[in-house]
Every structure is written in C-alpha cells, then in structure tokens.
Amino acid sequence: MDRDVWSGLAVFAEIVDAGSFAGAAKRLGISPSALSHAMRALEVRLGIRLLNRTTRSLAPTDAGQALLARLRPAMDSVEDVLGELDSVRSRPVGRVRVNAHKPAAAYLILPRLPKFSRDYPDVSIDLSVDDGLVDIVAERFDCGVRHDKALQADMISVRISEPLALVFVASPSYLDLHGRPENPEDLGSHRCISYRHATSGAIHRWEFEYDGERMDRAVPTNFVTSDIDIMRDAALQGLGVCCLLMDQAASHLRSGDLVEIMSGRAPTLPPCHIYYPSKRQPTAAFKAFLEAMRVF
C-alpha cells in the first residue's frame, strides 16, 4: 500500500475518534492545519469525500463510514501485533540463534544453559557450531561468539570469559613408546596432532610461551583435523602430542589417561566475546541470553 495513503487512513480514523481536528491534533502531537492538509490529500488521492465538516461539526460521509467499518478491524489487528512485539521486547520469549566456535560452544555456552533454561523456559537456543568465520548478519544469527581477535567490524561485543588456558598433553602409551619431550625443540623427533583452520585450510602453527615471550613454530604432524574433540580423542588413542584447552583435558589429566608435558610452555587463547550488530534492536530473549553469558 502507498505509504501516504496508509498514514492518511490513520489520520482519518483518529479525527473521527476524536470528533474534531483539534482533538486529533492534540492526540497526535501535530498542528490542526497539518491534519487538515493530510485529510484533504487523502480525499484527493482516493477521489472521494470521507468527512462532512463545518465550523461546528464533523462526521464521516457514507463512504467514510463504510471505509471505517472495514478499516477498524485491520487497525485493531495492527495494534494487536504491536502489543505482541511489546511483549517480546519486555518478556523473554522466542528463539535466539547463536553461531559459536567449538571451544566456546562446549565449554562456555553449554555449561550455562541449564540455569538459563530454568530461568527462561519460553526461550529456545539455536546453537550452530562453526569454527570458521561467519557473516552473522547475512546468515541471520542473533550473535556470534569468537576470540576477541576474530571479531567482525561494526559490532557490539561483550566479553564472556577469561583468557582460555591451553595445555600440552600425550597419553602414557605414547610416552612409553616415544619418550617425553621437555621443550619445543624436542618436538622435532615426535609425532604431533595438529588443527586445520576451517576458513583458510591452513594447519595451525604451534605456539609456545616461555619467560613472558611467545613464539610459534611448525611441528612434524602425523594427524590433522578441524575438530578439537577429535584432537583430544586422537591423543587419548596414543597418536601423538597434542595441545588442548585445559577445560577439555582436565578430567583426562585427573584420571591419568593423559599426561601434561612441557609444563609452563603452553600459551593462552584470548578471551571469548559475544558480538552482535550495533544497528539491530535486541529482543528481551536475546538480552536475557546475553546477561546469562556475561560473567564480567
């Protein structure tokens, strides 16, 4: 529908309800002359008189009355929809679509969802796990979760974690066969499990920290995967030395299925952030999710 016609119809209904141009102008916060101009423009556009008006009275014509009879249900329906939107804005309900890389999905988001689900039973979470870089606007996600170095431009970001600790590990069976590396230089004679970046396809260069300095190097790799849980499982199977999230390896270190090696040499990953478009008006459901994930 022509936008001017629709706004004119709203003005027409308001004038009839108020019983005068002055009363409608006061409700709408505009001048009576502006209302009169809008009403005349509507009648010209439609080619029919809708109001009989004198200096003392105002009433719809027969055509105007017939139009109002059809118009009011439609306007009431629009009011109902706007009321529902108000409810969505004020009460957490509906779906939140999240795109996160696997470390954040498994070790940050998932552990916080049970409480969130209890607090907001009318909100559903649609969590897509993707270690590549995703255009969350084009893919219609409400938000993404990445390390702060991988955030898209023109986004609002909220930190949801401390820096993530890493640890170098191997299985006892591997160490029995190949010995225990004590420093990065020793890895030249070892078998290593490496990660392939989903977006670029490049094999990740291993990083090390020592005395406050950070270095990276290529290592001899005999197993490559783009899934961090497969990396852990490969280490458990004795395929080689691996670098894992501490949260990912902790239970296996306690059980003895994995052993920490090169202690103090593992780096940390930057904190994770939720990011979302600055121009998008967040729903109450998304605001609730954001607060549930926020820990700072």
Place of tokens 């607060």: 291
Is there a single domain that holds both residue 81 and residue 147? no
Strand intervals (E) in the chain = 51-53, 58-60, 94-100, 123-129, 143-147, 155-159, 164-170, 192-195, 206-210, 213-217, 221-225, 242-245, 259-261, 268-269, 272-277
Is there a single domain that holds both residue 116 and residue 200? no
Query: What CATH number does residue 202 fall under?
Result: 3.40.190.290
Domain ends where: 90, 109, 125?
90
DSSP output for 69-117: HHHHHHHHHHHHHHHHHHHHHHS--EEEEEEE-HHHIIIIIGGGHHHHH
Is there a single domain that holds both residue 43 and residue 28? yes
Give the structural domain span for 236: 164-269
Is there a single domain that holds both residue 60 and residue 204? no
Is there a single domain that holds both residue 145 and residue 7? no
Instruction: Count structural domains, the chain.
Output: 3
Is there a single domain that holds both residue 151 and residue 168? no
Sequential pLDDT tens for the chain (296 residues)? 566 677 788 888 888 888 888 888 877 778 888 888 888 888 888 888 988 887 677 888 998 889 888 888 877 777 666 655 655 567 898 899 999 999 999 999 999 999 999 999 999 999 999 888 888 887 888 999 998 766 666 788 899 999 999 999 999 999 999 999 999 999 999 999 999 988 788 898 999 988 778 888 889 999 999 999 999 999 999 999 999 999 999 999 999 999 999 999 999 999 999 999 876 678 889 999 999 998 76
Is there a single domain that holds both residue 119 and residue 62? no
Neighbours of 284 (CB within 10 A): 18
Query: What CATH number does residue 287 fall under?
Result: 3.40.190.10
Query: What CATH number does residue 68 fall under?
Result: 1.10.10.10
Is there a single domain that holds both residue 26 and residue 112? no
Is there a single domain that holds both residue 233 and residue 192? yes
Domain ends where: 56, 90, 124?
90
Is there a single domain that holds both residue 169 and residue 152? no
